Amino acid sequence: MLRIGLISDTHGLLRPEALEYLRGSHRIIHGGDIGDPAILEALRAIAPVVAVRGNNDRGAWARRLRDAASLKIDAVRVCVVHDLHDFTGERCRVVISGHSHRPKIEERDGVLYVNPGSAGPRRFSLPVAAGELRISGASVRAGIRNLL
């Protein structure tokens, strides 16, 4: 069983609670609006990182990031995009997104959509959260944890 840590919308703030939650991940996916390249370095100290550029990620460091990513973990195709509205419909079993700051897990037409929410500065009354995928072969489960 592989544990994939999910984080998004850090906006330059990597909370210790998020780091603690992500420890033990085999890989980490960041859904964009990173805010500071040092966040990616801190995450890489835990596990390999796949990250996409969010609408607030600017500068030379952010230009090196892709707008979307696709990877295969065991037998599961995972697609990553910051804003779900920008998802092109590539054939994926799981789609990870951010942008809305609203944690959500929803399955539609055999596709698991996961937004881990925002792990950075609190926005309005939305929770501070992160998530995970548990993958074994073609089996995948998702979870979200409120961090504060």
Q: Which residues are bridge partners to 105 per DSSP? A: 114
pLDDT of res. 143:
98
Tens of pLDDT, residue by residue over 21-74, are: 999 999 999 999 999 999 999 999 999 999 999 999 999 999 999 999 999 999
pTM, 2 dp: 0.97
pLDDT at residue 90, rounded to an integer: 87
The pLDDT of residue 79 is 98
DSSP-derived secondary structure for the chain: -EEEEEE---TT---HHHHHHHTT-SEEEE-S----HHHHHHHHTTS-EEEB--TT--SHHHHTSBSEEEEEETTEEEEEESSGGG------SEEE--SS---EEEEETTEEEEE--B-SS--TTPPBEEEEEEEETTEEEEEEEE--
User: The domain that contains 83 carries what CATH number?
Assistant: 3.60.21.10
Q: Are the C-beta atoms of residues 120 and 130 closer than 8 Å to each other?
A: no
Integer angstrom CA distances of residue 9 from 34, 91, 102, 106: 6, 25, 10, 19
pLDDT attached to residue 5: 98
pLDDT score at 89: 86
Q: What is the distance between the alpha carbons of residues 36 and 61, in angstroms, rounded to a whole number?
A: 9
| Range 106-135 average pLDDT | 96
**Pairing, β 111-115 against β 104-108:** antiparallel
107 beta partners: 112
Average pLDDT value over all residues in the chain: 97
**Whole-number pLDDT of residue 87:** 95
The parent domain of residue 65 ranges over 2-146
pLDDT at residue 75, rounded to an integer: 98
pLDDT in tens, 68-92: 999 999 999 999 999 999 999 889 9
Give the count of domains, the chain.
1
User: For residue 28, what pLDDT is reported?
Assistant: 98
